[in-house]
Chains A and B, each alone.
Chain A
Amino acid sequence: MSALRLARLIRRVGRIAEPALPAPLPITLPAPLPADPPTDPPTDGRALPSELPSELRGSVQVRHVDAGSCNGCEIEVGAAFGPVYDAERYGARLVASPRHADAVLVTGVVTRNMAEPLRRTVEATPRPRVVLAVGDCAVDCGLFARGHAVVGPASSVVDVDLEVRGCPPEPEQIVAALRRVTGR
């Protein structure tokens, strides 16, 4: 595309980002699918917003770990950081290294091969840090519960501070969870 056409396209499209919702709202947890009872006891009620580290107010670098997801959640995480939902405006940014990160965002059930890498990624993240489990799979194994390659939900391997339910969760919910950490 020539630069001129690109410039015209930019002018025509204008701002794509949705208007910002009012500051941090509580996460709405949709009811889990009744069909598939989780193997682990339901894990909820962790991390009230006041327990999240205050050092991370205003700026949260996120390292995303796919521990064995079907890539449905990845699409939604990508959308949350895309131009429409624009999580970056609240100070959250995806980074390439756990050393730069403040939050580890886990999607998918933890498979046997990814249990150790996930544990190491969280260990490599400097404190204070937050671990987010995004999607039903990461929260309670969702669809893949009792699969032969499955170790368990993210909380069976690392300490999880925040959970976002949904299969896959909407980008808005992911953004809302991130906003609870950034407080913006």
Chain B
Amino acid sequence: MIAWLSAVAAVTVQLVVMVAAAPLVVGLARQSRAWVEGRAGAGVLQPWRDLRKLLLKEPVQAEGTRLQVAAPVVLLATSLMVCAQVPLVGTVSLPGLPGDLFVVVSVLLVGTVALAVLGLDSGTAFGGMGSSRHMTIAALVEPTVLVAVFAVSIPAGSSALSQIMNERLAAPSTIASPASLMAVVALGIAVLAETGRLPVDNPATHLELTMVHEAMVLESSGRDLAWVELGSWLRLAALVGLVGNLLVPWGQATTASPGALLVGILTLLAKLALSAVVLGAAEVFLAKVRLFRVPELLAGSFALAFLAVTTSYLVT
């Protein structure tokens, strides 16, 4: 009972931290990009201001659309679920809530489909185009994510993410093994594609013809848009945090004691902040690749992930 309660407490803490931090991660990425571009930038808190304002507005919905309200909520729910499942603050997982890698990927896919349905439901040409591109990219990304984390899970002998983290904490030498490094690079590319960052999608674009994520949400407004935005930011933060934790697992709370959780929160925030600054600054140097070249990029990352699996069987 005590163990269960403390696990609930740990997961709740992780959820609260992620919801508070996800907009700040995006804000910091935009801010660091602004610094590199020589701008002053809107400040790290801007995404929170945007969210507050969106929640105060009354949404405009086209007649006959039913999913404009439901799909954003589903996306937000799946993102919150992923934030609860993935070991971010600590490796304490809730008994009964599967933190298994395959479940995490399926939950992500439910959110992806909700977003695509939202784009289709708006009934505009751009919405449908965005949805079809989104599903194309998702179909290329999901196998890479699965194979990459499968490679990482081989040393741990389990596909539960918290066990993988515990194994990495116990045997740090597995982190720098070639298999693990290749898998993390492949996973990183897949995460960039999944969360709609450069070079796959440009989050700051105004050109409808090049949009992927933006095209699907063109018709959402007010509260609906706020949920979509928060949902995608949470996804980005959770996946970036996962990659950060795979590379640098230290600092994660392995027990649900307040001290360990505090250390876990602080190290998680540090990892997220560093990744956000690097992400924002690196995007200045990248251009969006042509849509028809995205499969080449993702096939490369899939090949890397596949090599990682092969080497982890050969080099043991």
List residues of A whose CB falls within 8 A of some B CB.
3, 6-7, 10, 13-17, 20, 55-59, 61, 83, 86, 88-91, 93-97, 99-100, 102, 124-128
Contact = CB atoms under 8 A, between A and B. Distances in A.
Contacts of B40: 15, 17, 20, 86, 89
Given A96-B208, A96-B214, A97-B219, A59 B36 contact: no
SS class, residues of chain B in contact with chain A: loop
B225 interface: yes
A99 B221 contact: yes
B34 A88 contact: yes
16 contacts: A15-B35, A15-B40, A58-B52, A59-B52, A59-B53, A86-B40, A88-B34, A99-B60, A99-B225, A100-B220, A125-B60, A126-B59, A126-B60, A126-B221, A126-B222, A127-B57
B53 A58 contact: yes
Nearest to B219: A99
A10 B285 CA distance: 11
A83 B38 contact: yes
Contacts of B218: 96-97, 99-100
B288 to A, nearest CB: 15
Interface of B: 34-43, 46, 49-50, 52-53, 56-60, 205-208, 211, 214, 217-222, 225, 284-285
A17 B49 CA distance: 22
A10 B284 contact: yes
A13 B52 CA distance: 35
A88 B42 contact: yes
Given A14-B38, A127-B58, 19 more contacts: A7-B285, A17-B38, A55-B56, A58-B53, A59-B53, A91-B49, A95-B206, A96-B206, A96-B207, A96-B211, A96-B218, A99-B60, A99-B219, A99-B220, A100-B217, A100-B221, A100-B225, A102-B53, A126-B222
Given A99-B218, A99-B220, A89 B42 contact: yes
A43 B53 CA distance: 30
Contacts of A17: 38-40
Contacts of B52: 58-59
Contact of B49 (A59, A83, A127): A59
B228 to A, nearest CB: 10
B285 to A, nearest CB: 5
B51 to A, nearest CB: 9
B41 to A, nearest CB: 6
A88 B41 CA distance: 6
Contacts of A127: 57-58
From B38, B49, B53, B205, name the one whose CB has the most chain A CB atoms within 10 angstroms. Answer: B53
B219 A83 contact: no
B220 A89 contact: no
Nearest to B59: A126
A58 B39 contact: no
Contacts of A15: 35, 38-40
Contacts of A14: 38
A90 B49 CA distance: 11
Contact of A58 (B49, B217, B222): B49
Which A-B residue pairs are the 6 nearest by beta carbons? Answer: A16-B38, A99-B221, A89-B40, A59-B49, A58-B49, A17-B40
Task: Name, among A10, A20, A96, A125, the residue most crowded by chain B CB atoms within 10 Å (CB to CB).
Answer: A96
A105 B53 CA distance: 19
Contact of A59 (B41, B50, B207): B50
A6 B285 contact: yes
A72 B219 CA distance: 30
B126 to A, nearest CB: 9
A83 B60 CA distance: 32
B206 A91 contact: no
Contacts of B206: 94-96
